Amino acid sequence: MRITGTGHASMRIDTAAGSILCDPWVNPAYFASWFPFPDNSQLDWAGLGQTDYLYVSHLHRDHFDAEHLTRYVSKKATVLLPEYPTSELEDQLRELGFTSFLKTTSNEVVELDGGLRVMIQALTSPTDGPIGDSSLWVEYDGVRLLNQNDARPTDLAVFAELGHVHAHLLQFSGAIWYPMVYELPQVAKTAFGKQKRERQFDRTFRYIADLEASWVFPIAGPPCFLDEELWQYNDIAGDEGNIFPDQQVFIDEYRKIGKENAVILLPGTVARLEGESCVTEHPVDDVRAFFEAKEQHLKEYAQRQRPVIEAARASWRHPGIDVLKELKRRIEPLLDESVYLAQGVAGPVRLDLVTPDGADGEVVESIVIDFPGQQVRRYSDEKVRYRFRTERVLVEHLLHTEEVDWANSLFLSCRFSAARIGQYNEFVYTFVKCLSEERLQYAEGWYAEQRPDPEDITLGDWVVQRRCPHLKADLTRFGIIDDGVLTCQLHGWRFDLASGRCLTSVGHELRSRPAAQPAV
């Protein structure tokens, strides 16, 4: 089996029984804020695109690059489709010209021609990616690979049971807007960023330890930020609060826990797997030297991409759009139907639209999404649950394109700032990624079906429910207790054990009691 690194979460897997191209991403995503790092635009995409199978793990724009798929990927390729609750991924691929789909069932192995076997695990909670994220397992001639990319399975047992895995490819770096966009003192942002960076590594190490693969490939990040406005998000200034560490930083951290089996996939790296061996050829002589020259690489890359960013900026402006009127038309029918999400938000959310000078611009319009009142209206000097501040042109563009997922566009762009009263509220972000009838209904149904977990476990001096109240991670594996607080390492949520209160988000109470105290 041969793996060719093609940048970010993308790779091509070649076997004698066929090739699979995964998540090819080249064009900037999220309002031209994210670019693949390192630059992968010079690869032979015409050749790479002649593939037998295409796997797009999910609809996040750094995995689903419509322009690139249209231009370079053979429409004769059979799409390996995860089992998602909505048909959006299939619909969007069909629109690009793909016609051959192999609809997989989550966690079931599919036998393809020539002895190639694949299995896709689809994660389907409303907080998994854009309503769905997935991992691909591949086996050929006794060699097994798990492309976990940025999916967060609650455990990897289903893959481990299929036999020893030789290559484990997974995310290790950040892919979110937290904490950078929050209006907090810099010292607090640095402290939160540092915590987040450490948690990302801990979670990655946990997954690696669970699967015990022969070789580990850190992939699916970090992106790079080539627009001057976002340049500070690149991890080049030695900032310990930066959540976007690169592959070399990961390898160095991984070595600190005594591990030497990680392999970097640069765009163009070829890794040949045979039994336990992995022979790697890189497109550069010295990988460490490449990362040491990262800042120069980014500066030259930014220079090349400047016209692309300028063209994108010019396309966002639609001054004829009446933003309040359009938001009312789009959002009020959804507020009418929302039960669990509206109750979860439980307050107004304010949107400040500013002139196009980044988040520092002057406020030209202030609008409230009033969840309890089920309406969208002008802000009237009231207390709000969250406040978002962004350029008006970005919202004009979201409305112009009828975007149904603002997390997969505005929020991941980091071209906004946020302030909140109280804790993080996942319902706010779930609502803004469900701005269509289909998505909203699915999310509402999902929350309606959540049941408390009946099983208890003992962790240290405490008895707690086995499954995390967030997304049901097994706390025997992901739970750690420190000073009366349980942290679930899957997403880092924290729970006060004495009260069961979730310290990270509203709701989501944990059942807990001291082990010495009998159950009531």
Contact residues for ligand FES, defined by CB under 6 A: 468, 470-471, 473, 488, 490-491, 493
Q: Which is nearer to ligand FES, 85 or 469 (CB)?
A: 469
Q: Which is nearer to ligand FES, 233 or 493 (CB)?
A: 493
Minimum distance, C-beta of residue 506 to ligand FES, in the bound complex (Å):
14
Minimum distance, C-beta of residue 438 to ligand FES, in the bound complex (Å):
25
Q: How far apart are CA 244 and CA 226, in angstroms?
A: 14
Please, is 246 exposed, middle or buried when counting C-beta atoms within 10 Å of its C-beta (0-12, 13-18, 19+)? buried
Q: Which is nearer to ligand FES, 166 or 491 (CB)?
A: 491
Q: Which two tokens stand for residue 362?
A: 């002057």
Minimum distance, C-beta of residue 176 to ligand FES, in the bound complex (Å):
13
Name the strand (E) or helix (H) holding 171.
Answer: strand 167-171
Name the strand (E) or helix (H) holding 390.
Answer: strand 386-391
Minimum distance, C-beta of residue 198 to ligand FES, in the bound complex (Å):
15
Minimum distance, C-beta of residue 503 to ligand FES, in the bound complex (Å):
11
Q: Which is nearer to ligand FES, 407 or 490 (CB)?
A: 490
Residues composing the chain? 520
Start-to-end CA distance of the chain, whole Å, equals 56
**In whole angstroms, what separates CA 7 from the centre of its chain?**
16
Minimum distance, C-beta of residue 63 to ligand FES, in the bound complex (Å):
21
CA-wise closest residue to 428 among 354, 499, 344, 338: 344
CA-wise closest residue to 36 among 47, 44, 27: 27
For 324-364, give the DSSP string. Answer: HHHHHHHHHHHHHH-SHHHHHH-SEEEEEEE-SBTBTS-EE
Q: Which is nearer to ligand FES, 251 or 473 (CB)?
A: 473
Extended beta strands in 56-132, E state: 78-81, 100-103, 110-111, 117-123
Q: Which is nearer to ligand FES, 80 or 502 (CB)?
A: 502
Minimum distance, C-beta of residue 487 to ligand FES, in the bound complex (Å):
8
Q: Which is nearer to ligand FES, 386 or 493 (CB)?
A: 493
